[in-house]
Structures are given as structure tokens and as C-alpha cells.
Amino acid sequence: MRRRQQTCAANSMINRGGEKQSTGLLLNLPFTCGSAYMPNIAGLLKTEISRIARRESRSQTASLQKASAAYRREIAALKRRLSELERATRSLDKRPAKPTVSPEATDKLRFRADGFRSMRKKLGLSAGQMAKLLGVSAQSVYGWEQKRSTPRRSQLPAIAAVRAMGKREALARLGTL
């Protein structure tokens, strides 16, 4: 208490009204001697330093946060692209390889529904199995046999390749698909 009185006496001055008032030399904050409020300079400096440090660190990390967000978006886009490609690869793996025949040879090929049905029965295959061998749907095979539709020119070489197979070869090829 004695030290506080000495500090107040050292920092005090007399104003025009004759009242004794202190100016608080370091901060120029007026306070009256003997009041309970005395600024803690160490605490004020500590809070100001921490505020400035937070502001500086925030400004320096803002660019890093933006770059990190951009990288995350790019990684997500690459993952989506990868899953699309894997899906496309799986669907291509399910389809059998189509035989390549010259365009002149496809002009010579013809299709007859009765011959197609008898070939399928001779091989002992269902419409679904024949469709799997040809790389088409079972409904297409059924439509061809019923003469409701005809195969495309691009499908005729595959039909000719199946026609050249025997029963064992057709079943073995189905086993690999």
C-alpha cells in the first residue's frame, strides 16, 4: 500500500480546480489515486502482442489454406475421373472382343432368321448364351429369330464367326466370358 501511495504521489499533478489527479505516465490514462483500477502494463502488452501475432499468422496462413482447398478440389475431381474410367473399363471387359473382318467380306455375308435359330439350337445354346457370345442383348437375339428385327451389318461378322464354331468351342468360349 505504501508503494502505491508513493507511485500516486509521483505521478500526480494538480488541475485547475485544485484537485489532485494522476496522468499515468506510461499510458497517459487518467486515474485517480487510490482507485481500484490501475492498468496492468504487462498484461496489456501481453494481450496486444498476442493479438498482433494472431493477425500476422492468420494473414500468412490464408494463402496456404486457399492452396490446400484447391488441392483438395483437384484431388476429388481426379478421384471422380478415375472411378469413371474404372467403370468404363469394367463395362468394356464384359463385352467380348468383336472379330475384325474387312468391309468387302461383310457385303458378302447375309442373315436368315431360320438359319440363325437352327444354328443356335444345333450348338445347344439359349438365346441369352448366344447373345453373350455375340456381344448383344438376349432380346436382340429373340427379335432376330422372330423376324421382328435384323442384325446390323457390323454384327454379321460375329454371327459368321459363331457359325464356324462347334458345340465344344462355343461352350468353352462362353466359359471364358
pLDDT of residue 4 exceeding 70, the answer is: no
Average pLDDT over residues 83-112: 72
pTM for the model stands at: 0.41
From CA 160, how far away is CA 42, in angstroms rounded? 95
135 or 107, greater pLDDT: 135
- Please report, for the domain that includes residue 108, its CATH number: 1.10.260.40
Mean residue pLDDT of the chain comes to 77
Both 57 and 89 in one domain: the answer is yes
- Is pLDDT of 120 > 70? yes
Same domain, 68 and 13: no
Do residues 83 and 26 both lie within one domain? no
Q: What is the pLDDT of residues 34-88, one digit of tens each?
A: 555 667 888 889 999 999 999 999 988 998 999 999 999 999 999 999 999 999 9
For 87, what's the count of Cα atoms within 13 Å in the CB-facing half-sphere? 6
Domain count along the chain: 3
When pLDDT is averaged across residues 28-35 and rounded to a whole number, the result is 51
Comparing CA positions, the residue from 148, 175, 173 lying closest to residue 158 is: 173
One DSSP character per residue, 72-125 reads: HHHHHHHHHHHHHHHHHHHHHHHSPPPPP--HHHHHH----HHHHHHHHHHHT-
- The answer, yes or no, to whether residue 32 has pLDDT greater than 90, is no
Same domain as 46, residue 62: yes
Whether the pLDDT of residue 26 is over 70: the answer is no
Q: What domain range includes position 3?
A: 1-39
**Assigned C-alpha cell, 35:** 482507485
Residues 32 and 11 in one domain: yes
